[in-house]
Structure 1
Amino acid sequence: MASLREFDYGTLKRENGRTVREFRITAGTTDIALNSAVSFNTWNFNGRVPGPTLRVTQGDRVRVLFWNNGGHSHSMHFHGIHSAAMDGVKPVRHSTATVYEFDAEPYGVHLYHCHVEPVTRHIGKGLYGMFIIDPPEGRPPADEMVLTMGAYDVDEDHKNEFYAFNGLPHYYMRQPIPIQQNQLIRLYLLNMIELDPVATFHIHANLFQVYRTGRTLIPSEETDVITMGTAERHILEFTYRSPGKYMFHPHQDWIAEAGCMGQFEVLPV
């Protein structure tokens, strides 16, 4: 469950009076078990699917030292604002390296992914992750966590057979996410499901406030279901008043029942 509340702030440096955050990212391959009978060979960043959640503050200088050890050409394309030279579209060949460097802007919830064609295949194999740029003034204290929706086309028929939050189907049903009663939860949510045009996200017995793309400090709406296309992402905030277990899942039932389903376990204070 480490990826849920784990944020990679990089190596902090000061250069010419500026804050620089340096990250080391390696593309590779790893086999993961989707269930007791099915394994899947992932292409990934730093040995995990999704890749590490990179986190900086608006105005930081971001430096990514990228090494491709994945057996195929890969790259890292960041969403946000940067120059064409740093856009991560150019393939990086196996056993070679490159450096991506840019200023972190604007604040919000962004992402990174491989942009080598066919992009659907590279993302579907696991080459994606979240990139958070915090506003300079920060946000109020909260229990912060990351949920990334993904999918697996195990037989390469251009249809997904398994779905997951944070890489592993059904994981948060078997191991519910513990949260405290009356604690403000700040959920960074990203949809990286390929081959399905949209997915919703729903929590049981509650409503959440929506900060679309994390680009505001004031919520734009309150609801209990949000619809997201591939690569769409938001911040959701909510509080549970009563102890117990509460499900969360897409309301496309075939996606939920094929692995993209979990529970919050609200613990009494």
Structure 2
Amino acid sequence: MQSWFKYPVTRRFLLGVGALLGGTSAVRLAFGKAPPPYPQDDTHAAQSNPAGGHGTHNGMTTVGEVNNARNGFDPHEILTDWDRGTVSRLPDGGILREFEITAEDKEIEIAPGLLFPAWTYNGRVPGPTLRVTEGDRVRIRFRNLGSHTHSMHFHGIHSARMDGVPGAGNVPPGGMFVYEFDAFPFGCHLYHCHSIPLKRHIHKGLYGAFIIDPDPDRHPEQADTARSRLLGSLENARWQEFVLVMNGFDTNFDDENEVYAVNSIAHAYSKRPIAVDRARPIRLYLVNVTEFDPINSLHLHANFFDYYDHGTTLSPTQRTIDTIMQCQGQRGILEMTYKDHEPGVYMFHAHQSEFAELGWMSLFNVRDVALQQQASGE
């Protein structure tokens, strides 16, 4: 009897085998009739399905649930769990933000029943979202508890010896290194391992978002806009901010992804739509670290947004668009509002259809929060 595995084992091959076996392929991805799409959860779930059953591309979604507790992280919490570090004052009066980051090998579940042998920062993929303010001194104590040499390379401005590349902050197993630099420029950035082979270290999960908020005092001509991005300010409090790290997973290590996602868990935000208040504007910090594909993208349904490439400007670099493409390492800020829309469930997803069907499909649940609070007597 001839073995099937004389042929290339690609994601399409695995999906075909899954169909033949009734959805029990090696990748455990079943694209058939989906479970009820919106569990009734006050925080994240939709209250109804106005999409008429098509909110998950007519059932084209993973079947079952990922065990977030076993993973040690929840993709819905990753949306907003900014790590601000431990804050103290420098002798010159400046702000010092200190972070503790550990690299470790860890098996994570990226789709129901599908375990992936990841390399992680602080036990999660993506790693913690580090959020600082322009001009802060940033100090990261990096410990490598993994099985391979690792590093942290920050997209930003710093000295050569802090670059996190071989010869400058590359850390062997059991080692430690302290990265230190001042946070410039403001924007939506990222960090990732830069050890060799680079594609494997990134693809295995060693990356995370690095957000530098603008300091309004440095931008007096656009101080109000800068304050709206400064976490903790009154102007920022009216915004609903979320970080979305676009990634993919090569489950059989053939340099081709079988699963796509934002924040690592396939279809996480299809099954539990992201709850947003219709009265408040939305800001997305979008980062692409998808390996093996030249671009990834985000398409917003029924709405348009302003885009800030790399987030390094306070005025949009593109206005009134509904689709943005990013190559690996590219990132940006998207701003939008649903204030003139009716409440309901609205899609956003990769506009490579294959990516969407293999996990990168998401939904906003747009609600009238004030009216719901009044109705419930809050």
Would the TM-score normalized by the shorter structure come out above 0.5?
Answer: yes
CA apart distance, 1:32? 1.4
Q: Which of 81, 100, 112 is the matching residue for 1:24?
A: 100
1:189 aligns with 2:286: yes
Corresponding residue for residue 313 of structure 2: 216
- How many angstroms apart in 2 are the aligned matches of 1:193 and 1:55? 22
TM (norm. structure 1) is 0.98
Contact map agreement 1:20 1:61 (CA 8 A) in 2: yes
Report the secondary structure of 1:75's partner residue.
coil
Report the secondary structure of 2:171's partner residue.
coil
Q: Which of 189, 202, 208 is the matching residue for 1:110?
A: 189
**For structure 2, which runs of at least 5 residues remain unmatched after alignment?**
1-75, 217-225, 229-235, 370-378
Report the secondary structure of 1:59's partner residue.
coil
Structure with more of its chain in helix, by fraction: 2
- How many angstroms apart in 1 are the aligned matches of 2:81 and 2:347? 22
Report the secondary structure of 1:89's partner residue.
coil
Q: Which of 85, 97, 100 is the matching residue for 2:176?
A: 97
1:232 aligns with 2:311: no
1:160 aligns with 2:257: yes
- How many angstroms apart in 2 are the aligned matches of 1:250 and 1:35? 17
Contact map agreement 1:139 1:217 (CA 8 A) in 2: no
Q: Which of 200, 203, 214 is the matching residue for 1:124?
A: 203
CA apart distance, 1:70? 1.0
Corresponding residue for residue 78 of structure 2: 3
1:259 aligns with 2:359: yes
Q: Which stretch of structure 1 is more off in the superposition, 32-41 or 141-150? A: 32-41
CA apart distance, 1:34? 2.4
Structure 1 counterpart of 2:210, one-letter code:
F
Structure 1 counterpart of 2:305, one-letter code:
F
- How many angstroms apart in 2 are the aligned matches of 1:23 and 1:60? 13
- How many angstroms apart in 2 are the aligned matches of 1:95 and 1:37? 31
Contact map agreement 1:76 1:112 (CA 8 A) in 2: yes
> Superposition pairs for residues 127-138 of structure 1, below 5 Å?
127-137=206-216, 138=226
> Superposition pairs for residues 55-74 of structure 1, below 5 Å?
55-74=131-150
Structure 2 counterpart of 1:86, one-letter code:
M
Corresponding residue for residue 87 of structure 2: 12
CA apart distance, 1:29? 1.6
Corresponding residue for residue 41 of structure 1: 117
Cα RMSD over matched residues? Answer: 0.9
Larger radius of gyration: 2
Structure 2 counterpart of 1:264, one-letter code:
F
Q: Which stretch of structure 1 is more off in the superposition, 216-225 or 184-193? A: 216-225
CA apart distance, 1:139? 3.6
Structure 2 counterpart of 1:12, one-letter code:
V
Report the secondary structure of 1:263's partner residue.
strand
> Superposition pairs for residues 142-161 of structure 1, below 5 Å?
142-161=239-258
Structure 1 counterpart of 2:180, one-letter code:
E
- How many angstroms apart in 2 are the aligned matches of 1:37 and 1:175? 18
Structure with more of its chain in strand, by fraction: 1
TM (norm. structure 2) is 0.70
Show CA shifts across 1:37-56 (max 9, x none).
32101101000000011011
Report the secondary structure of 1:266's partner residue.
strand
CA apart distance, 1:36? 2.9
Report the secondary structure of 2:243's partner residue.
strand
CA apart distance, 1:264? 0.4
CA apart distance, 1:220? 2.1
- How many angstroms apart in 1 are the aligned matches of 2:121 and 2:113? 25
Report the secondary structure of 2:83's partner residue.
coil
Structure 1 counterpart of 2:128, one-letter code:
P
Structure 2 counterpart of 1:14, one-letter code:
R
Contact map agreement 1:242 1:268 (CA 8 A) in 2: no
Structure 1 runs of 4+ off > 3 angstroms? none
CA apart distance, 1:18? 1.7
- How many angstroms apart in 2 are the aligned matches of 1:87 and 1:139? 30
Show CA shifts across 1:206-254 (max 9, x none).
0011111101111122200011100110000001122100111110011
| Equivalent residues, number | 269
Show CA shifts across 1:94-149 (max 9, x none).
01100000010011111100000111111110000010111101342211110010
